[in-house]
């Protein structure tokens, strides 16, 4: 059976090299009991890919599966095969790349439905199965056979059900392309030459509150007002998805979709690009819907993009492994979500459970922190102020996100602003670095972090420092470099060395 052969044998993409410039963090779904303890309700259904192809091509993806992991697993492998086995070259134009991406998603879905073809045929046969009338067959025998048929139908239903949403990033010729199907998210954080940091959300989720998607459904004859009110289509908030045979081929039997002239829920990706990465310093984030929803449930949607970027920046400043960075951020979100639930505050009612969470981080011309060095030994400190609120209100208050990105040049600490931009929205060059973000928070707190335990410096050895002849303990930090630079920058022709430093 084709389904078995695909899932039990070696993957098509096992020989492709993994990209070493990205890291992935994951956490399984969790349901909290009243005492705050969490249990996993189903196996992890998310998937991801992170490959380096030929000709300077890189492919990344995050897949949010539901009703099983089959579609997410299949899509992560099949999509890679459709894109990285010679299909993309540096000679392709932007139009070529868009066409190849669109065709790849179409091929993935068709291939998936082919793998479940035998199961669908058996399911159709058993659904129409009628036991022949036979006077020699007892009622008990009839009931036994009927029960076996029902059990097999249940198995087949599980085998053909399920789907996935996907967000895919392709880097070719140092240009970024984002292909999105569903409700995952892509963020690009860029550190500009004037010290500001821009946070761009690339594209919008294909959900039941997306006006463009509602208009698309309306043109097909679907009552978009009912879709918006329902908030879900067949149990999912996405209006585009991979797989989900029941919704794709039996939509006429679904009340909300029955008026549609043609298939309303599609797998066609929305493609954004190309965006040049020449000279860009920062990072790209691909996030599953579960991660986004967990953070927004805990703190509200207003600052979610800025919060996740600030967490990543803080971890990049202290970790020397991208895997550790990604996993640490996921654990932060998981902890925030749990803490809000046990706090009993207003948003705790939204945090009784979370779905599987996946975060993929791809750095762009940005070195990792040297985790072996303390700040006094040459390590770097990147303070990040993360705004959040403990309560909900409709009144507005301004908060500033202080985000200092790691860079290869000499670091100058400062207060910069991250802003959420739709693709194509320019950031004025004259914008003040201290511009504020608007938030619907009344009680805004800021927490600075440079290391996981809250300390800026590593502990000194067990041997205590001894006082000198004056009774003073030698300083922990040598500020002579600072005094010299301060003096050169603020000198008005007279030496200032005498006015600074220890006397």
What CATH number is associated with residue 331? 3.60.40.10
State yes or no: pLDDT of 403 exceeds 60.
no
In angstroms, the CA 442 to CA 54 distance is: 51
- Does some domain include residue 429? no
Q: What burial letters (b/e) apply to 281-295, b meaning 16+ CB within 10 Å?
A: bbbbbbbbbbbbbbb
- Does some domain include residue 483? no
- Does some domain include residue 502? no
Please name the residue that has the structure tokens 């022709």: 493
Residue 11's pLDDT is 60
Q: Mind spelling out the 3-state secondary structure of 419-477?
A: CEECCCCCCCCCCCCCCCEEECCCCEEEEECCCCCCCCCCCCCCCCCCCCCCCCCCCCC
**Share above pLDDT 70 across residues of the chain, in percent, rounded to a whole number:** 69
- Does some domain include residue 486? no
Print the domain residue range for 193. Answer: 22-132+142-364
How many domains is the chain partitioned into structurally?
A: 1
Model confidence at 30, in pLDDT bands (50, 70, 90)? Answer: very high
State yes or no: pLDDT of 225 exceeds 70.
yes
State yes or no: pLDDT of 168 exceeds 90.
yes
Helix axes 94-115, 117-127, angle to 10 degrees: 40
Q: What burial letters (b/e) apply to 9-18, b meaning 16+ CB within 10 Å?
A: eeeebeebee
State yes or no: pLDDT of 351 exceeds 60.
yes
Q: By three-state DSSP, how is residue 120 classified? A: helix
Q: By three-state DSSP, how is residue 337 classified? A: helix
In angstroms, the CA 158 to CA 70 distance is: 10
What integer is the mean pLDDT of 358-380?
68
> Residue 85 has which token pair?
């086995």
14 versus 111: which is more confidently predicted? 111
**Within the chain, what is the greatest distance between any pair of CA atoms?**
116
Residue 139's pLDDT is 54
Q: What is the mean pLDDT of the chain?
A: 77
Please name the residue that has the structure tokens 């309560």: 391
State yes or no: pLDDT of 358 exceeds 70.
yes
In angstroms, the CA 184 to CA 202 distance is: 11
What integer is the mean pLDDT of 3-17?
58
479 versus 63: which is more confidently predicted? 63
State yes or no: pLDDT of 290 exceeds 80.
yes
Model confidence at 425, in pLDDT bands (50, 70, 90)? Answer: very low
State yes or no: pLDDT of 279 exceeds 80.
yes
Residue 141's pLDDT is 57
- Does some domain include residue 98? yes
State yes or no: pLDDT of 22 exceeds 60.
yes
Q: What burial letters (b/e) apply to 77-114, b meaning 16+ CB within 10 Å?
A: bbbbbbbbeebbeeebeeeebbebbeebbeebbebbee
- Does some domain include residue 454? no
Q: What is the pLDDT of residues 185-201, one digit of tens each?
A: 999 999 877 767 789 99
Please name the residue that has the structure tokens 């086995």: 85
Residue 165's pLDDT is 98
Q: What is the pLDDT of residues 304-350, one digit of tens each?
A: 999 999 999 999 989 989 999 999 999 999 999 999 999 988 899 99
Model confidence at 156, in pLDDT bands (50, 70, 90)? Answer: confident
**Share above pLDDT 90 across residues of the chain, in percent, rounded to a whole number:** 54
Q: Are 324 and 23 in contact (CB under 8 A)?
A: yes
| pTM, two decimal places | 0.71
State yes or no: pLDDT of 252 exceeds 60.
yes
Q: What is the pLDDT of residues 45-100, one digit of tens each?
A: 999 999 998 888 999 999 999 999 999 999 999 999 999 988 898 899 999 999 99
- Does some domain include residue 58? yes
Model confidence at 443, in pLDDT bands (50, 70, 90)? Answer: very low
Q: Are 186 and 271 in contact (CB under 8 A)?
A: no
Q: Are 376 and 459 in contact (CB under 8 A)?
A: no
What integer is the mean pLDDT of 472-480?
64
- Does some domain include residue 208? yes
Residue 270 CB neighbour total at 10 angstroms: 18
In angstroms, the CA 77 to CA 82 distance is: 9
Q: Of the spans 241-250, 387-396, 405-414, which averages the highest pLDDT?
A: 241-250
């Amino acid at each position: 059976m084709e389904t078995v052969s695909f899932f039990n044998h070696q993957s098509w993409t096992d020989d492709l090299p993994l990209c070493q410039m990205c890291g992935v963090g994951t956490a399984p779904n969790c349901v909290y009991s009243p005492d705050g303890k969490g249990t996993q309700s189903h196996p992890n259904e998310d998937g991801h890919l992170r490959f380096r192809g030929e000709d300077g091509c890189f492919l990344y993806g995050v897949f949010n599966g539901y009703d099983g992991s089959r579609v997410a697993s299949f899509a992560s492998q099949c999509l890679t095969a459709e894109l990285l086995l010679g299909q993309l070259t540096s000679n392709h134009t932007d139009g070529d790349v868009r066409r190849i991406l669109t065709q790849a998603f179409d091929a993935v879905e068709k291939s998936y439905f082919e793998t479940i073809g035998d199961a669908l045929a058996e399911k159709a046969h058993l659904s129409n199965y009628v036991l022949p009338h036979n006077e020699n067959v007892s009622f008990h025998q009839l009931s036994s056979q009927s029960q076996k048929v029902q059990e097999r139908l249940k198995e087949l239903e599980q085998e053909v059900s399920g789907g996935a949403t996907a967000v895919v990033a392709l880097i070719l010729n140092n240009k970024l392309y984002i292909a999105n199907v569903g409700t995952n998210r892509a963020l690009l954080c860029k550190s500009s030459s004037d010290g500001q940091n821009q946070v761009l959300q690339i594209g919008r989720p294909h959900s039941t509150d997306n006006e463009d998607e509602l208009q698309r459904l309306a043109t097909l004859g679907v009552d978009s007002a009912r879709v918006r009110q329902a908030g879900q289509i067949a149990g999912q908030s996405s209006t585009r998805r991979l797989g989900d045979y029941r919704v794709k081929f039996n939509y006429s039997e679904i009340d909300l979709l029955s008026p549609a002239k043609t298939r309303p829920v599609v797998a066609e990706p929305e493609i954004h690009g190309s965006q040049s990465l020449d000279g860009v310093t920062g990072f790209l984030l691909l996030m599953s819907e579960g991660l986004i929803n967990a953070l927004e449930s805990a703190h509200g949607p207003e600052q979610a993009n800025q919060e996740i970027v600030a967490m990543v920046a803080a971890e990049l400043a202290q970790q020397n492994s991208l895997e550790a960075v990604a996993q640490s951020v996921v654990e932060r979100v998981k902890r925030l979500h749990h803490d809000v639930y046990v706090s009993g505050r207003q948003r705790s009612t939204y945090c009784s459970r979370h779905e599987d969470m996946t975060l993929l981080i791809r750095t762009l011309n940005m070195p990792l922190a040297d985790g072996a060095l303390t700040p006094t030994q040459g390590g770097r400190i990147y303070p990040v102020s993360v705004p959040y609120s403990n309560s909900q209100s409709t009144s507005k208050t301004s908060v500033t996100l202080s985000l200092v990105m790691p860079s290869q040049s000499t670091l100058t600490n400062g207060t910069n602003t991250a802003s959420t931009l739709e693709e194509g929205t320019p950031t004025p060059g004259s914008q003040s670095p201290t511009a504020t973000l608007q938030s619907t928070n009344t009680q805004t707190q800021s927490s600075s972090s440079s290391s996981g335990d809250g300390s800026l410096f590593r502990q000194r050895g067990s041997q205590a420092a001894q006082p000198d002849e004056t009774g003073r303990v030698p300083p922990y930090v040598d500020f002579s470099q600072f005094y010299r630079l301060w003096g050169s920058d603020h000198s008005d022709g007279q030496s200032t060395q005498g006015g600074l430093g220890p006397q």
